[in-house]
Every structure is written in structure tokens, then in C-alpha cells.
């Protein structure tokens, strides 16, 4: 268990509780229990065969949703430790944040959202909530994982306060959280750290995967100012070491620069806004864990570069378009005879489309491809 020396800005050590009362553990904190439940969940294991950028069948060395989640958690623990926050909570949120992703990444998500446009739509963040509150089936006394209120709060507000609950209500039902979550308050610093760690991880590691896939070169990324400085710094090392080794060093330094920037700017935000307690954090009208203006511009440039040169690259688009088509055709095929495929649910009590959506969203890339080839 981590040190008991927490900042006054940290989430409460002992948690506000869970939806279903359970006996407290004498060995683990509430957030360690949450983390372990996520690690042992079926949804987490499936992430190893779900697309990050490259469809899972594209190669063994590209990142998948599970490696991405592990990398996010490493960055988040580092940041949480610096600010003497609850590392276990930041780690838990990092590991869980992508549980709701479909096969084939965002292409699969867009396809499912289209299929569900008359039934509440689809959103991978809300699907994560369905998984941890309803779909995981491991306990006698409740559905889901019965995570702590603080973990649920952080997952709900992964991208900030929720001012419009229309989509959440449409997918989960009205007052699903029984007024135990304040949707309009600012998320905990641990949740904000998990969110920005997500940005740091996928920016830097997508650059590495894109370079390894030869979608672009070091020369191409040198158009981005900070990257240009790092490439110049290591240019002569390419003749002594391999380009791959130089690339890995540059990626490490990108992560380091972004992490240091978050630390410096967040300290300024806390001081500027006179944040002295967890209550002050919840009352804040703005994110407190953030990049500086300079780093925000760098972050924007990287995202723009990756969108143009990687996410919309013809080789990637070809694969993701195939994935989008597979998801749509699976939905239509299963809808004709849902009980043949989705056997463990009561179709009389629950919206059929939502159950089909849950089934497809839970698929790995390869399972979806194999099932499609079997029934097309």
C-alpha cells in the first residue's frame, strides 16, 4: 500500500463507499480493490486484441488498447506521486478508461453509433460505465464490479464535468447513479491526471508506431518545433546507433518534456486559483491539471500531424473502413436473429438493440473478423 502521506488535494483515502455495501479489506485500499477488479475483468483482457490505431492483425509490435492503458497508468502514477495524490486511484482510472472501446477503434465506435441512432446511440466512455456497473458478471450479490464512488466519478467525468446527461440517460437510464455522483462538479485531480496521461501516452506512442510502420519519417515530423529540436539534438547519433534506438530515445524525451510541463503548469494553476483542499478542486470551473499554452500548441500540432499522416493514411484507412463495414454488417445480421448469438440475456426485458450493441462492443478485432467470415 502506498504512503499515507497524502496532500489535502487528494481523493479521500477511505472512499465514500460503493453502491452495494461490502466488507472492507484489511489488506487493500478501496482503490487497490477497484484496480484489481479491473485487471481481473474479462473486458480488460479483451483489450489486448483491440485496435489502438493499427487493426490487431496488422502486426505483433504495434500498440493495442491494453498496452496503451498500461502506458497511461505508468505516466499517471508518476504525476500522482509528484502531487502526493492517490496513486492507486489514478492508476485505476487509467487502466479502466478504455474498457468500453469497440473492435477496430474509433471506426468501430462510429459504426456502432450509427447502428444505434434510434436507440440512444453509442459512446465508448459510457460503455465503460455499462461494463463496470452491469455487464461484468463475477459476483453473487450484484452486477458489474461495484467500484467505489470515486472511481465511478472519475470514469464518468473522464473528459470533464457532464452538463448534459441526455446521452448517459439514454444509454444507462435516468438516475442510474441514484444521485451519488455530482455530474457538474470538477473531477478529482487523480481523474484529471489520468485524462492528461492518456493524451501524453497516445501522442508519443502513436508517433513511435507510425514511424515504425514507415507511414512517415523523422524528417516529416521535424516540421513540429519541439520535435525538430530533439531530432537535431540526436541527429548525429543515428550514425553510431540505429535509427530505431534514436527514435526510442526521442519518444522518451517527448514524454519527459510533456510530463514536466504538466507538473509546472499544474502547480501554477493550483496557486493561481488558491486551491487548498479537495472541496476547492471540486468547485473549480476549469481543469487544474493541464499543459502550458506552449505545450497545448505542441499537443495540437502533434494531433494534427497524426491525423493527416497516420489516422488518415491510406493503409490505415483501408483497414479501419473494413472494420467499420464488419461492425455494421454484424449488427444487421445479428438483429435478424439475436437469440442465436446473444444467449445470456432476457430479450423481453431489455432493448434488443442495446444487447446486440453490448455484444459487438465487447468483441476483439479477431473475434469480429472470424464471426463476420462465418456468418456473412
C-alpha 177/C-alpha 153 separation (Å) is 10
Cα–Cα nearest to 262, from 316, 307, 203: 203
Q: For residue 225, what pLDDT is reported?
A: 82
CB 246 within 8 A of CB 271: no
CATH architecture group of domain 189-315: Orthogonal Bundle (1.10)
Residue ranges, comma separated, of all CATH 1.10.3210.10 domains in the chain are 30-187+316-375, 189-315
CB 255 within 8 A of CB 333: no
Alpha-carbon distances, residue 308 vs 52, 242, 300 (angstroms): 17, 27, 12
Terminal CA-to-CA distance of the chain, rounded, Å?
51
Q: For residue 193, what pLDDT is reported?
A: 98
C-alpha cell at 326: 464488419
C-alpha 181/C-alpha 183 separation (Å) is 6
C-alpha cell at 251: 519518444
Q: E strands, 158-287, where?
A: none
Q: For residue 346, what pLDDT is reported?
A: 58
Question: Where do we find the cell 502547480?
Answer: 267
Helix, strand, coil distribution of the chain in percent, nearest 5: 60, 0, 35
Q: How many Cβ atoms from other residues are within 10 Å of residue 290's Cβ?
A: 18
- Say which CATH superfamily domain 30-187+316-375 falls into: Hypothetical protein af1432 (1.10.3210.10)
What is the model's pTM?
0.93
Q: Going residue by residue through the chain, which has 376 residues, state the pLDDT in tens, using 9 for 90 and above.
A: 444 567 889 988 888 999 998 999 999 999 999 999 999 999 999 999 998 876 665 667 788 999 999 999 999 999 999 999 999 999 999 999 999 999 999 999 999 999 999 999 999 999 999 999 999 999 999 999 999 999 999 999 988 999 998 889 888 888 888 888 999 999 999 999 999 999 999 999 999 999 888 899 888 988 888 888 888 888 788 777 887 888 889 899 999 999 999 999 999 999 999 999 999 999 999 999 999 999 999 999 999 999 999 999 998 899 899 999 999 999 999 999 988 888 766 555 667 899 999 999 999 999 999 999 999 8
Cα–Cα nearest to 301, from 248, 234, 225: 225
* DSSP 8-state symbol, 133: I
Q: For residue 94, what pLDDT is reported?
A: 98
Q: For residue 2, what pLDDT is reported?
A: 47
* DSSP 8-state symbol, 199: H
Go through the chain and tell me how many residues it has.
376
CB 11 within 8 A of CB 86: yes
Amino acid at each position: 500500500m502506498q504512503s499515507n502521506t497524502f496532500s489535502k488535494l487528494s481523493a479521500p483515502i477511505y472512499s465514500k463507499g460503493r453502491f452495494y455495501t461490502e466488507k472492507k479489506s484489511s489488506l487493500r485500499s478501496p482503490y487497490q480493490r477497484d484496480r484489481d477488479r479491473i485487471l481481473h475483468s474479462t473486458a480488460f483482457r479483451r483489450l489486448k486484441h483491440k485496435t489502438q490505431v493499427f487493426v490487431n492483425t496488422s502486426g505483433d509490435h504495434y500498440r493495442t488498447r491494453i498496452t496503451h492503458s498500461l502506458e497511461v497508468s505508468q505516466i499517471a502514477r508518476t504525476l500522482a506521486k509528484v502531487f502526493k495524490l492517490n496513486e492507486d486511484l489514478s492508476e485505476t482510472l487509467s487502466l479502466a478508461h478504455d474498457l468500453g472501446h469497440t473492435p477496430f477503434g474509433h471506426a468501430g465506435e462510429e459504426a456502432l453509433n450509427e447502428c444505434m441512432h434510434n436507440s440512444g446511440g453509442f459512446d465508448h466512455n459510457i460503455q465503460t460505465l455499462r461494463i463496470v456497473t452491469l455487464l461484468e458478471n463475477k459476483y453473487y450479490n450484484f452486477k458489474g464490479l461495484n467500484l467505489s464512488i470515486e472511481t465511478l466519478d472519475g470514469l464518468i467525468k473522464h473528459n470533464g464535468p457532464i452538463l448534459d446527461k441526455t446521452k448517459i440517460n439514454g444509454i444507462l437510464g435516468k438516475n442510474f447513479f441514484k444521485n451519488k455522483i455530482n455530474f457538474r462538479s470538477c473531477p478529482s485531480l487523480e481523474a484529471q491526471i489520468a485524462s492528461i496521461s492518456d493524451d501524453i501516452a497516445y501522442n508519443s506512442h502513436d508517433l513511435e508506431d507510425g514511424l515504425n510502420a514507415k507511414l512517415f519519417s523523422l524528417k516529416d515530423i521535424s516540421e513540429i518545433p519541439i520535435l525538430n529540436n530533439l531530432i537535431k539534438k540526436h541527429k548525429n547519433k543515428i550514425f553510431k546507433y540505429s535509427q530505431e534506438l534514436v527514435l526510442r530515445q526521442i519518444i522518451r524525451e517527448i514524454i519527459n518534456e510533456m510530463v514536466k510541463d504538466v507538473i509546472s503548469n499544474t502547480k501554477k494553476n493550483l496557486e493561481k486559483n488558491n486551491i487548498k483542499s479537495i472541496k476547492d478542486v471540486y468547485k473549480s470551473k476549469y481543469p487544474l491539471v493541464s499543459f502550458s499554452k506552449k505545450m497545448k500548441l505542441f499537443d495540437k500540432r502533434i494531433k494534427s500531424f497524426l491525423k493527416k499522416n497516420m489516422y488518415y493514411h491510406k493503409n490505415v484507412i483501408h483497414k479501419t473502413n473494413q472494420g467499420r463495414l464488419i461492425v455494421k454488417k454484424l449488427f444487421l445480421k445479428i438483429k435478424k436473429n439475436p437469440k442465436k448469438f446473444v444467449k445470456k440475456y432476457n430479450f423481453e426485458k431489455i432493448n434488443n438493440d442495446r444487447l446486440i450493441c453490448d455484444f459487438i462492443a465487447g468483441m476483439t478485432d479477431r473475434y469480429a473478423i472470424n464471426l463476420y467470415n462465418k456468418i456473412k
